A and B are shown apart, each in its own frame.
Chain A
């Protein structure tokens, strides 16, 4: 009994360790590394206005993942020596950024104005370093150094949301300044446009897609040819070892088809006059008729006055 418990405990321990490992990997996968600094404006003269009707420097954060991201308790700072300068407060529903969406933080030095107002300002005409730290205050999630040359109403932005090279934008041509919206504005699905242009008749699609479908099933087919060969070899070896027969005899026996095996089993069944074991227990269930006042005769009868 003690041995049984010991082995059971060992088994449980192994399962627990594997589960913990799996969960820790999962936690890592869902960390806030997907949070990116996406666009920054230092001197805001004619650009976005905050909820108090005023213009300030702003920092746009972008959730580059395809799942909502909760950013409360991360830190935003402009000081490498003080990574926990501005903690994003808990308890504000707006700190949950939907997938592939943005939030704007105002660098106005007035944190009392709300969650999205930082307790520092950005310095015009100087290099500004901005960092975002995770809740531990140690893990740097993202950082950027804004060049001192950035003029009024210019922004420093990633060319592609969340991952592109940083560039100066001045709202001329396609260098849009885009507070709280995508840095790359698309009005069409590029993939579909490309297919419509490059492959108007669908030949390339048919060729590529059939190639992939065939490859996938061909790989599966070859794998199973291999697996069945390995399986047969193992079965032959086991039979050879257990029955002491030659390889040729084993090969002949293994070639039996399902139909042949079924025929042999049927013949044995007939010959031995064997039957399945039956329990010989007869169960009689009571038949219940469910009662309902709708079908009850008593309610349909006239009652005698008392």
Chain B
């Protein structure tokens, strides 16, 4: 039977209405849209890691526009063949994080670490945040692979967290990534009270000897030796460590300036945009708003606290074995987490608060970049044990 003109119009408009966001919206969608707007507000108004929170926040908005998921329109991030799904492949297959690491390597000056190699141990100690959180996650009831993926948040390293969770617990990746980046943005809020609590006034006033000048040759040798030694111990960290040290060699060798510039600027910017946006978009209300997500945020918070605490306490312990003129200011212990350079800046600011002539930035950069290496090694260890 042929439809009348009016029926035709009405049925089409009804069908169109069923495709709209207004028809398909549920309460969780609005919650997630509010979270996205909150992230954007934090980034723009409070200047909390805007390079990360703006793409993630806007990605959350993109990912939580309600639509008819059964219509097969190929628009959702989890629908195979959709544009967002193609862009998301860099996250799900884990190839964005190594590219970010290439950029980090090309941006990072390892001089502080090379000048004072013992600072590397602080970077190692702070990784206890990861394994402390692993224990808490097991106690809450997560399986070992999920616990490992969540615990890596304690490394304070977004790309590493995404890389590891894409391998160990892909279903939790969205929550883990958002949690890792959120707490990285909140490092200035989380770390100072812990640092004040765990140090005495005298310890905060310790002035460290200025770092020696590092030769060009040492800077060139560092990424090569670093790659060989760390990857021989933990080959599972190769994608991250390989790219990190490769980027650093591009920077330091002096003959690939153009490549280093591209890796540290254009390439990193492009990947950061894609990574942030797709991670945000992966937090669809239906998969994101679960009990697990709340636990993950709690565990991420725990991991950051444990990591900062273990870094500071390790320096205090280390000082017991050092000569008086070689003592390390425990305020740089927090920088063992790899939130570069945010946590080193916090060490510096806190140091200046107690002694306006005590600049700790360069000293703190040592454990800070060691933290980057340490968290990549820790990710490799977890991958080796649990994958």
Contact = CB atoms under 8 A, between A and B. Distances in A.
A90 interface: no
A189 B118 contact: no
A201 B135 contact: yes
B127 A210 contact: yes
B233 A196 contact: no
B121 interface: yes
A217 B373 contact: yes
Contacts, number: 131
B139 A201 contact: yes
B233 A216 contact: yes
B210 A203 contact: no
B381 to A, nearest CB: 5
A223 B218 contact: no
Given A224-B114, A258-B212, A258-B213, A215 B233 contact: yes
A223 B135 contact: no
Contacts of B229: 216, 219-220, 223
Interface string B203-238: 000000111110101100110011001100110000
Contacts of B344: none
Given A192-B143, A202-B131, A202-B138, A218 B378 contact: no
Given A206-B128, A210-B131, A221 B121 contact: yes
Contact of A202 (B121, B134, B387): B134
A289 to B, nearest CB: 27
Interface stretch (A76-84, A119-127, A130-138, A225-233): A225-233
Interface string A222-248: 111101100100010000000000000
A56 to B, nearest CB: 37
B144 A196 contact: yes
A231 B218 contact: yes
B117 interface: yes
A235 B213 CA distance: 13
Bin the interface of chain B by size. 35 or more
Nearest to A199: B144
A200 B225 contact: no
A13 interface: no
Given A218-B124, A220-B225, A221-B121, A209 B114 contact: no
B121 A261 contact: no
B13 interface: no
Nearest to A225: B117
B132 A217 contact: no
B102 interface: no
Contact of A231 (B145, B215, B378): B215
Given A202-B134, A209-B131, A257-B209, A196 B143 contact: yes
A221 B222 CA distance: 11
A296 B211 CA distance: 62
B337 to A, nearest CB: 13
B314 to A, nearest CB: 10
Nearest to B373: A217
Given A217-B121, A219-B229, A219-B233, A209 B381 contact: yes
Contact of A209 (B115, B145, B378): B378
Interface string B124-165: 110110111011011100011101100000000000000000
Contact of B127 (A201, A213, A261): A213
Given A201-B139, A209-B381, A227 B230 contact: no
A270 interface: no
Nearest to A222: B117
Among A209, A213, A214, residue most surrounded by chain B Cβ atoms (within 10 Å): A213
Contacts of A227: 218, 221, 225
Residue with the greatest number of chain A CB neighbours at <10 A, chosen from B128, B138, B143: B138
- Ranked nearest first, the 5 interchain pairs of A and B with the lowest CB-CB distance are A202-B135, A206-B131, A224-B117, A195-B144, A221-B117
15 contacts: A195-B144, A201-B138, A201-B139, A206-B128, A210-B124, A210-B131, A212-B233, A216-B233, A216-B377, A217-B370, A220-B229, A221-B117, A227-B225, A231-B217, A256-B213
